[in-house]
Chains A and B, each alone.
Chain A
Amino acid sequence: MPIPAERGTAVLAALVLPLAALLCLEIASRSAIVDPTFIPPPSAIIGTLGDIVATGAFARPLAQTVLLLFAGYGLGSFAAISLGILMGASRAVYNCLEPLAELLRPLPKPALLPALILFLGLGAKMEVTIVALGCFFPVLINTIQGVRAVEPTMINTARTFGHGSFAVWRRILLPASAPYILAGMRVSLGLGLILAITAEMIAGTGGLGDSILRAQRLFLVKESYAWLVILALLGLVLTGVFGFIERRLAFWSAPQVT
């Protein structure tokens, strides 16, 4: 039970490092200890960030990236959960598909970008596909583990009470494997965001990844940092929202399967 004084100290301690770092940077940059062309003072960066926000220049790229992420993440997760439940529940299906999955899993998904570009060009189709592919595997593996981990006694108990297969699935299998599935989806979220931004950077057709890379290429130093802040905030918000949803949905346990 943290006393108010303890909580206060904790909050203070948490802020010390970032604030001190920002302060040092500000002083160093303004007094030209470091070259302000390459390392602008944080106040200037915040100013540029304010401009980007005020002019609404962030809105379109942000929307594009978020839409891309959700589309790919949703697609990949849905496919992975469906297939994962099937593979987890049926030995036959698992044995058929597992070698294929094992072969594709170690492939670093960004490596598929060039191939996808050749097939699908530089547009949204390619981007959604790579994000979906990247999100697929962690969720698949975790779903299989989750379904497998469901105690057989739970299922048998349900059966002895006369529940049919579908009810067993819905009321026991899914909730029991939910913590695993959510753990996989958490990993996929981070990976999906990384792939979305990478794809945007390489495709150059809009989105936050494109914005930040353009700023760097045009030597717009302050803008680059400002876009970084926006991306960092996006990552933070997504992680926070996911954590909140995860806690609401699977409050009874959260095993780590990486």
Chain B
Amino acid sequence: MYVAVKGGEAAISNAHAQLADERRGDRDVPELGVEQISGQLGLAVDRVMTEGSLYDRELAALAIKQAQGDMIEAIFLLRAYRTTLPRFGATEPIDTAGMTLVRRISATFKDLPGGQVLGATYDYTHRLLDFDLLEPDGDQPQAPETGPLDQAPAPRVVDLLNHEGLMETLGEPEEGFEPSDITRQPLRFPADRSARLQNLARGDEGFLLALGYSTQRGFGGTHPFAGEIRRGEVAIEIVPEELGFAIEIGDLDLTECEMINQFQGDEEHPPQFTRGYGLAFGGSERKAMAMALVDRSLRSEELGEEANHPAQNQEFVLYHSDNVEASGFVQHLKLPHYVDFQAELDLIRRLRGERDDDQAEAAE
């Protein structure tokens, strides 16, 4: 038994070979292609890209394949690769009002400029297992013919409310403001909103989902409305120094969520709505919505609200949202700890011995 704990190089190599063998599975079944994953497990790829914070469908699909579909392991693989990449610069802020929409819904207005576009969604599907998909070539769907959407301008709902002054305005950042980058600089508290949003965007979907849910159940309620959820492609632009003007270098497939929350007001400000923001790669809609709820909760302090609940506590949320960190530390408990355990054994035996002695003495 002891030898197993002290397993050395051979054990590790064998373990990895066995893992690779298990990953391949039944050799009579064709090997899974990375294109199949990115094409047919698209939402898994979207999640890995979002929390891996690297927009690359092929690498995310590779990570999912390599990790046997373990999402957190795949996210970890992508993150570890991402760290090694050089940085060429930062893009201009993206303009999601100019998004080429494939989906856009608002829960706050029945109709609005640009309209409601339901798009491809699991909403309103009946969750009945489709046994046709069990058959080879059983999946032969046909998308309805719609032709290119003649897209009317679809300004963001929060901007529409802005015109009336009903929505809080956040103002332009100060001259020279640089957003935080928590992958280069450690978090400091209080963390500014750019650091918080970056943290939440990379944060574990399950963790944010539970925290967002907790706010709905009364642990720091923010009375949210889904002002708008939109998905589509957004152009990304950079301003190369030698050119001095912006050029497009590609598109990002994004889901954005703006939550509209109960109003605030004080002596200086009339009552107005406040906002929570969520953004994720691809169709990670649940993540974007949960993120928007938690973003709003984390603004409690700046908005002068009491902050007594977990979702309102910056340190609690931001230090525990990262699933790569959390997974590593939880699982490090399987590393040998026998030196410290030996120290504890020694102590507890001694304390028990002293207790027995005391009791024996008292009995005499």
Is B one of A's binding partners? no
Chain A residues proximal to chain B, CB less than 8 Å: none
Chain B residues proximal to chain A, CB less than 8 Å: none
